[in-house]
A and B are shown apart, each in its own frame.
Chain A
Amino acid sequence: MTPLVQLVLARLRSFYREPGAVFWVYGFPLLMVVALGIAFRANPVEKVTVDVQAGPQAEKVRDALITQSTARGLTFDVRIDDEETSRRRLRTGRTDLVVLVSADGSYQYILDRSRAESRLARTAAHEALQRAAGRTDPVPTLADQEMTEPGSRYIDFLVPGLVGMGLMGGGLWGVGFAIVDMRIRKLLKRFVATPMRRSDFLLGIMISRLVFMIPEVVVILIFARLFFGVVVAGSTGAVLVLILVGAFTFAGLGLVVACRAKTLETASGLMNLTMLPMWLLSGIFFSPDRFPQAVQPLIKLLPLTPLIEGLRAVMLEGASLASQGLHIVILLAWGAATFAVGIKLFRWN
């Protein structure tokens, strides 16, 4: 059989016989989907913790909050305590809001503005207390309508991000780690001592990476579909093209990271350094639009950003592959550049 086929087979065998590697590539992204899916699942009833300052009015305030809560789609968990204890509970995040009641019956709220739950608690508690005291809305408001159809929830937003993250991690670790490991074992040097063509070797690593990637992505997509009802709005073919291009790009980055590294420590340091800015900026968990305008062009050029944006456009909005041309061009440019540099600088001995 040809050397290329044998090299790919050898890589596939070494990978699938290493339980640790299989877990990190396939199990870990799946666990992320499960954990985040559960954490951000649409809560039917939101719970708000409120501490009320102990005093003659405290019982009345608590009853007011509890009666009002069920009507608003959230429940208050009320606790009566002295001010000192309540402030400490707020500081340590165990309560969302402290309500102080003065002798003349007026309320004062203590809250932490940097916490979303705390701001929500203030608004909800204020409204509940005012209604209990007899306030009526000047404009009538009908019951809220909730958006729950697939394609618009956080889990829908998250899955393309996690697919992108998996492709990045898999490419860098799968290619980089394998190469550095073979260099440390002097296996690269041993291969160079045979008539093996060096291009066959690098191509073999690439092809095996693309083969590993397919089950990796398929597992996440099937799981997300079965458990969270996440569907692909656009064409499967477009998704496939994007993940292939993405896998190629990150394999190229893995090659650059590993082209000179002599130890696994150096390689893993370089890999984390490469991945960190993309974890933070490329929109895996939240939209990169939140970052300042000045850094937006930079964020758009990081390879993970166009991949995730392209996947989101196709999966959530049903965009066509053609509309993602720019994203694909950026990815291919990264892939080609990293390959050229990686091969040029590659150290066999």
Chain B
Amino acid sequence: MPRLSDKGPRTRDGPRPKNEGPRTRRVRYAVRVLAIRCANLVKTYAAKPPVEAVRGLDLSVERGECFGLLGPNGAGKTTTIEIIEGLLDATSGEVEVLGMRWGRQDNDIRQRIGISLQETKLSDKLSVRETLTLFRSFYRQGITPDEAIARVSLEEKADVWVGKLSGGQQQRLAVACALVGNPEVLFLDEPTTGLDPQARRQLWDIIRSFREQGRAVLLTTHYMDEAERLCDRVAVVDHGKVIALGSPRALIASLGGEHVVDITLNNETRGADTAIDMARILRETPAVTAVRQEVDHFALSVTEPHLALPAILERLRQNQLELASLTTRHASLEDVFVTLTGRHLRDEAAS
């Protein structure tokens, strides 16, 4: 084939040239199309003063990846995911879903994505199967309602009215409605909020098996454990911006140690000077990489607890400080968030 054709516009279903070169390129092209890409996303709600919900947010989600938007309430997670879902218009910025843009190929995008919104209440008086049959009818292709029921293990409830399901079962049905069109990208906004631990684990299993088919998941959560256990990569969002991005493991490793030692001192007679002193002294203790202080509570990032603990106790004794409590734990994304913002994820007042 002459080189000229290589430069021509390529479409997914276009005629495939016979020689080797362009064919390889076509494959590479298919791989390179991201599930989701957005750049410099801005959303400002008209109000007095205007509310800047999203302020220049970039992200890209690969196929086969479960990507989490983690942040406190009001961080802009829902606004972001709804812009990507095509339910809200961005004030500015670019959004691509499976290489397509909203406003031009809306129906094509909707045929290939599945969505579970925060707080949708499906019709109470329809059965599980009837609900899924309705949703299935909207898509050109997809799995059967019964397959969708099986994916979320609601076989026993197939003929039960939605209003009679528990919260966890309703949430699984919501996910089944998202799966029934056999989507390539799944969007889940706070999928496990308000669910009991068992129901949450069931949902995680459903999401994992979807991702294992090489499809992409974008979810929002304010549960750090959910993000840690479920997501391949996490974007920590605060005030409408991504403040950290990476795998949960890498983000936690960026703290300088995988372990955290929490110390609370039982000594109110010591003045502020001593306390500041104490933070410095603790920071210089072997195996301690960082110290975060909240009044008389210290959270120490530690690489090797078996080295750090005796040293910490020794320092406290030298300074005649009494311990009120000492606990050790694995570092979490919560620690990442607190380190970056000085606030807690679940701290409603701070958000």
Contacts and interface: CB of A to CB of B under 8 A. Distances in A.
Interface of A: 1-3, 5-7, 9-10, 13-14, 17-18, 185-187, 189-196, 349
B127 to A, nearest CB: 9
A190 B120 contact: yes
B125 A18 contact: yes
Given A6-B133, A189-B87, A195 B121 contact: no
Interface stretch (B109-117, B282-290, B293-301, B330-338): B109-117
A2 B137 CA distance: 6
Interface of B is mostly: loop
Contacts of A9: 130, 134
B107 A195 contact: yes
A187 B181 contact: no
Interface of B: 85-88, 107, 110-111, 115, 117, 119-126, 130, 133-135, 137-140, 161, 177, 181
A194 B138 contact: yes
Given A193-B85, A195-B110, A195-B139, A187 B125 contact: no
Contacts of B122: 185, 187, 190
Contacts of A192: 87
B121 A185 contact: yes
Nearest to A348: B87
B123 A187 contact: yes
Contact of B117 (A14, A189, A196): A189
A13 B126 CA distance: 7
Nearest to A1: B137
Contacts of A18: 125
Given A193-B115, A195-B107, A195-B139, A7 B121 contact: no
A186 B119 contact: yes
Given A1-B137, A195-B107, A195-B111, A17 B117 contact: no
Given A195-B110, A349-B88, 11 more contacts: A1-B133, A2-B137, A6-B134, A13-B130, A186-B117, A189-B87, A189-B120, A190-B122, A190-B177, A194-B139, A194-B181
Contacts of A185: 120-123
Contacts of B120: 185-187, 189-190
A6 B87 CA distance: 23
